[in-house]
Amino acid sequence: MLQARSEGAVRNETTVERTSDRELVVTRMFNGPAHIVFDAWTKPELLKRWWAPTSFGVSLFECESDLRVGGTYRYAFGRDPNKPEVFSGRYIEVSPPSRLVLTQLYERMRNAGEAVVTATFEESQGRTLLTLHQLFPSKEALDGAIASGMEHGMRETLDQLDALVALLR
Q: Is the pLDDT of residue 86 over 70?
A: yes
Q: What is the pLDDT of residues 135-155, one digit of tens each?
A: 999 999 999 999 988 999 999
Give residue 165's identity as a one-letter amino acid code: V
Residue 6 reports pLDDT greater than 50:
no
d(Cα 2, Cα 56) in Å, to the nearest integer? 15
Contact 63, 51 (CB under 8 A): yes
Which pLDDT score is estimated for 11?
76
Domain regions of the chain by residue span: 14-168
pTM here is 0.91
Which of 3-7, 62-66, 119-123 is predicted least confidently? 3-7
Query: Which range among 7-21, 38-52, 59-73, 84-98 shows the weakest confidence by mean pLDDT?
Result: 7-21
Alpha helix ranges (H) inside the chain: 34-42, 44-47, 139-147, 150-168
Question: Given this structure, which CATH class describes domain 14-168?
Answer: alpha beta
Concatenated DSSP letters of 33-54: -HHHHHHHHH-HHHHTTTSS-G
Q: SS3 of 112, please?
A: helix
